[in-house]
């Protein structure tokens, strides 16, 4: 697996990367990326400003979420990735989202995490037929992550949330050939 030097850190190896449930004990690491304006710039949420808000999020949203995982390097949380199921007659769809500490951008971590989630979620949720992800038009890094993970760009949604600029919609389908991705 590819290794890259991380300024001031131990050597970064994707072999040391894993996904696991986010825990209350991750609060200090969680606050690193959730308070970073570079991370939240292309998201639907604003940077967190208090530890209490972070603990509240982990306890009330992350822990009960059907599919929210910490992206870990050497079991230390450096980001998160989610799949949110669509309700009702759209229950065959899921929405993928992720955030990674800016210190770790450009290392292949998010691409690997997305590939791991594709394999896992399509196996755990056999009813899921379509996995969608949104990336702002300006966020070329996130668009590349999705392309490298096999997502197809379908189009641009104009002013989708009213507070974000235009977003591109990407998707991948449950073709049962994702078993070759790392788990």
Tell me phi and psi for residue 88, to 5 degrees.
60, -135
- Please give the C-alpha separations between residue 40 and each of 20, 122, 136, in angstroms, as whole numbers: 22, 27, 12
Q: How far is C-alpha 10 from the chain's CA centre?
A: 23
**Model confidence over 15-35: pLDDT tens digits?**
889 999 999 999 999 988 888
Whether the predicted pLDDT of 150 surpasses 50: yes
* Cα-to-chain-centroid distance, residue 136: 14
The correct CATH number of 3-180 out of 1.10.10.10, 3.40.50.2000, 2.60.40.420, 3.40.630.30 is: 3.40.630.30
- Return the SS3 of 18: strand
Cβ atoms 145, 122 nearer than 8 A: no
Is residue 103 within a helix (H) or strand (E), and if so which, with residue range? none
Give the relative orientation of helices 140-148 and 109-124 as an angle to the nearest 10 degrees. 50
Distance CA 56, CA 49 (A): 12
Yes or no: say if 135 and 172 are a contact pair by the CB < 8 Å rule: no
- Which pTM value belongs to this model? 0.81
Q: Give the tens place of pLDDT for each residue, 63-105.
A: 999 999 999 999 999 999 999 998 888 888 899 999 999 898 8
Closest CA to 30 of 63, 66, 67: 63
Domain ranges of the chain: 3-180
Per-residue pLDDT tens over the stretch 158-170 = 766 555 566 666 7
């Amino acid at each position: 697996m590819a290794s890259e030097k991380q300024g001031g850190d131990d050597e970064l190896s994707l072999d040391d990367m894993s996904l696991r449930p986010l825990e209350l004990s991750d609060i200090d690491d969680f606050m690193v990326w959730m308070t970073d304006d570079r991370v939240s710039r292309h998201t639907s949420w604003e940077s967190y400003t208090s530890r209490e808000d972070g603990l509240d999020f982990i306890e009330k949203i992350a822990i009960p979420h059907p599919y929210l995982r910490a992206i870990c390097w050497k079991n230390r949380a450096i980001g998160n990735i989610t799949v949110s199921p669509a309700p009702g007659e759209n229950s065959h769809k899921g929405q993928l989202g992720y955030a990674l500490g800016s210190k770790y951008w450009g290392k292949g971590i998010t691409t690997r995490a997305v590939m791991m989630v594709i394999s896992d979620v399509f196996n755990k949720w056999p009813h899921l037929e379509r996995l969608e992800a949104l990336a702002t038009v300006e966020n070329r890094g996130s668009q590349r992550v999705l392309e490298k993970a096999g997502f197809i760009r379908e189009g641009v949604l104009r002013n989708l949330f009213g507070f974000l600029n235009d977003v591109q919609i990407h998707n991948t389908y449950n073709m049962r050939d994702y078993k070759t991705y790392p788990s």
